[in-house]
Amino acid sequence: MNDTIRLVGVRARGHHGVFDHERQDGQDFVVDVAVEVDAHAAAGPDDLEKTVHYGVLAEQVVAEIERDPVDLIETLAERIAAAVLTHDAALATEVTVHKPQAPITVPFTDVSITIRRERTRTTVAPDAA
């Protein structure tokens, strides 16, 4: 069983969307990230290097929101998940991207996408002897 580090409500301004006004004016995006780790590996030796530094992770999430625009929040979620999985201690992640100011013509509170991604494991082929 894995342990979970959560960042909730990381907010930054991005210029994502399919409409010209979204690209030009931008809007706030809110991201929640859950990262599966083995907390025991870090807690035993009390070693920050054996876990995911949540301060660094929060800065990475903001950087992904603020960088070059994409059309879909699905694409933004994939970019954030890929950034999470660059951390050695990250085993899997769940990323939710909220777009509370989405251009929807009826009253709504939020629109979001949630994805789950796992670190790909490479298997070594047995020696052909």
**Which tokens sit at 65?**
């929101």
> Among 99, 113, 118, 128, which one carries the catalytic annotation?
99
Q: Where are the beta strands (DSSP E) in 38-128?
A: 92-98, 112-118
Q: Find the radius of gyration of the CA atoms of the chain.
A: 17
The domain made up of 3-118 has a fold known as GTP Cyclohydrolase I, domain 2 (3.30.1130)
pLDDT per position as a tens digit, 41-69 = 999 999 999 999 999 999 999 999 999 99
From CA 58, how far away is CA 78, in angstroms rounded?
16
Report the percent of the chain where pLDDT is more than 90.
89
Count other C-beta atoms under 10 Å from residue 116's C-beta. 11
CB 35 within 8 A of CB 52: yes
Rounded average pLDDT over 37-42: 93
Q: Domain residue spans in the chain?
A: 3-118
In this predicted structure, the answer to whether residue 20 has a pLDDT above a threshold of 50 is yes
Please say if the pLDDT value at position 126 is more than 60.
no
Give me the mean pLDDT over the 112-118 stretch: 98
User: CB atoms < 10 A from the CB of 30, how many?
Assistant: 17
Residue 99 annotated as catalytic:
yes
Residue 2's pLDDT is: 86
